[in-house]
Structure 1
Amino acid sequence: MNDRPVHDDPAPLPPEPPQEGECCEDGCGEACVWAHYNEARAEYARTLAEWQARHVREPAG
């Protein structure tokens, strides 16, 4: 478990979606920028839930 002070534990940032024109629209499968983005979103959701759990235990103020 990480015992860093709250000020050293910033909330994770969501991944940026692919930019206009990054997707080839060719059904490339696993190498698709949208597949990578969806994986990053899942990782973000996991790390955000962990971060929120750590901060629920912190006293307010």
Structure 2
Amino acid sequence: MSATLLETARNNRVIALQTLKARRAKLEANNNVFCLSSMRVDRIVHPMFKSCRMDLMEDRIAA
């Protein structure tokens, strides 16, 4: 169970870093400043992360 939670946390971190790098590269081309607080606000509007609880629920449904 803890391995699943660690895998979900790691996957979420990887997704966050990839998104941040892509947005930073896009905004640097426009000479705009980007910070994590704006990423958090955008994440509320467009959630991209899978919660550990949802991951466990999907595993139970699949079983």
The TM-score bracket by the shorter chain reads 0.3 to 0.5
Give TM-score scaled by structure 1 length. Answer: 0.44
Largest Rg, 1 or 2: 1
Give TM-score scaled by structure 2 length. Answer: 0.43
Instruction: Compare the two structures and name the one with the higher helix fraction.
Output: 2
Query: Could you say which structure has the greater relative contact order, defined with CA pairs below 8 angstroms and 6 or more residues apart?
Result: 2
